[in-house]
Amino acid sequence: DTGVSQNPRHKITKRGQNVTFRCDPISEHNRLYWYRQTLGQGPEFLTYFQNEAQLEKSRLLSDRFSAERPKGSFSTLEIQRTEQGDSAMYLCASSSPGHYYEQYFGPGTRLTVT
Amino acid sequence: QKEVEQNSGPLSVPEGAIASLNCTYSDRGSQSFFWYRQYSGKSPELIMFIYSNGDKEDGRFTAQLNKASQYVSLLIRDSQPSDSATYLCAVNYGGSQGNLIFGKGTKLSVKP
């Protein structure tokens, strides 16, 4: 399968713990995006990378959130000191050069903070 | 505030009918428009995109764009029960090179 993959698919954590999610984009795609989706809402943009450079971050991305894409391939999203309001589906998407807005999503990581 | 508005539905149509889904957007700088289908518990799937005014057809799907009215729609012909899902409209944010703004989605139910 050559689609976007995300791990883990589900994560349950206690408030105050740190969590890290991984995204592997489609191999020829140089852009990688992180979105967050809560029930009844559309995805909300968090940040995106072109190769290893983080080019844009949403104001939704508080200082407890950090994302990396060290070698321009996979990316990680870390949430420190999780809060119950962080419970959501975290979606990763990727796109190819020249087709940046045609974004293809992975299956998502569902985070539950108890 | 950049916004994308959709009727949340549910929109119910009988099998074989045409389903019409609508979306309006606030940013006149937007140039790219997308429709995603999302089944319950799954991630969004890109099904159509349109960049120019007018119609774009792909199989049973037709996307329509009117930039003057800031309006984009999706028509699904010969609707099938398998089309039952939430349809998300997404628009690029004119001040960004990567940010898509999504509506809340319209839930479509196709009754056999």
Do A45 and A32 form a contact (C-beta atoms < 8 A)? Answer: no
Could you give the C-alpha distances from A57 to A68, A75, A102, B106, in angstroms and in order? 12, 14, 19, 27
Tell me the pLDDT tens digit for each residue of B21-74. 999 999 888 889 999 999 999 999 999 999 999 999 999 999 999 999 999 999
pLDDT value at residue A60: 78
Tell me the pLDDT tens digit for each residue of B74-103. 999 999 999 999 999 999 876 666 789 999
Tell me the pLDDT tens digit for each residue of A51-79. 999 998 988 788 999 999 998 899 999 99
Q: How far is A3 from chain B (nearest CA, A)?
A: 11
Query: Testing the interface with A: which of B21, B43, B45, B96 to mutate, by most A Cβ within 10 A?
Result: B43
Q: By C-alpha distance, which of A89, A79, A85, A75 is closest to A41?
A: A89
The strand pair at A10-13 and A109-113 is best described as: parallel
Residue B89's φ and ψ, nearest 5 degrees, are -95, 135
Do B30 and B93 form a contact (C-beta atoms < 8 A)? Answer: yes
